[in-house]
């Protein structure tokens, strides 16, 4: 699916931090979606990205995927079912716990991850050009500090 850039929304005079983070975050999603379309993965929609983003290399349990993506286990189940039918993920037994089922990427799923990383790499270069190398590095450092504080809490 191709996602159009959002129309200008109603905003407060002074944007709150939620909106300030949302606009560039949504742009990363939109760009990856457009580039995946062009790379032959047109059956993927932004909702599916959460599965790829939160997947560990050896596979991840559905419950953990849902928790990391902040959606219900049922919603994550729908996404995984779709991606499984489309050949991007497969279910496999957890070798550390035979009763548990892991979801993991197929070779085609790995191709998606590589294409998405390449897409983000191009976007990073563009943003570095807009902000200048120093300011862009500082943005990355600040977001890293903030992210670590959030995850540590």
Binding mask 33-62 for a second copy (x = CB under 8 A): -------------xx-----xxxxx--x--
d(CA 124, CA 137): 11
Site map 99..138 versus a second copy, x via CB under 8 A = ------------------x--xx-xx--x--xx---x--x
Cα dihedral across residues 58, 82, 47, 39: positive or negative: positive
Q: Candidates 36-44, 86-94, 103-111, 144-152 — which segment interacts with a second copy by CB under 8 A?
A: 144-152
Q: Which of 99, 151 has the CB closer to a second copy?
A: 151
**Is 93 a residue that touches a second copy (CB under 8 A)?**
no
Which of the residues 8 through 27 are near a second copy (CB under 8 A)?
8-10, 12, 15-27
Residue (85 or 140) nearer to a second copy, CB? 140
d(CA 143, CA 102): 31
User: How many Å is the Cα radius of gyration of the chain?
Assistant: 17
Contact 116, 133 (CB under 8 A): no
Distance between CA 90 and CA 106 in Å, rounded?
A: 6
Element (H, E) at 8: none
Stretch that binds a second copy, among 66-74, 76-84, 85-93, 96-104 (CB under 8 A): 66-74
Q: Note whether 112 and 52 are within 8 A (CB).
A: yes
DSSP state, 35? H
Residues of this chain that bind a second copy (CB under 8 A): 1, 3-10, 12, 15-30, 32, 46-47, 53-57, 60, 64, 67-72, 117, 120-121, 123-124, 127, 130-131, 135, 138-140, 142-147, 149-151, 153
């Amino acid at each position: 699916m191709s996602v159009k850039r959002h129309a200008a929304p109603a905003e407060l005079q002074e944007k709150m931090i939620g909106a300030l983070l949302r606009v560039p975050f949504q742009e990363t999603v939109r760009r990856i979606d457009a580039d995946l379309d062009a790379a032959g993965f047109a059956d993927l929609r932004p909702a599916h990205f959460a599965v790829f983003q939160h997947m560990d290399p050896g596979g991840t349990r559905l419950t953990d995927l849902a928790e990391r993506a902040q959606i219900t286990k049922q919603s994550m189940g729908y996404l995984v079912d779709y991606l499984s039918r489309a050949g991007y993920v497969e279910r496999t037994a957890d070798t550390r716990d035979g009763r548990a089922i892991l979801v993991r990427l197929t070779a085609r799923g790995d191709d998606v991850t590589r294409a998405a990383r390449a897409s983000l790499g191009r976007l990073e270069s563009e943003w570095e050009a807009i902000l200048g190398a120093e300011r862009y590095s500082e943005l990355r450092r600040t977001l890293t500090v903030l992210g670590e504080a959030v995850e540590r809490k």
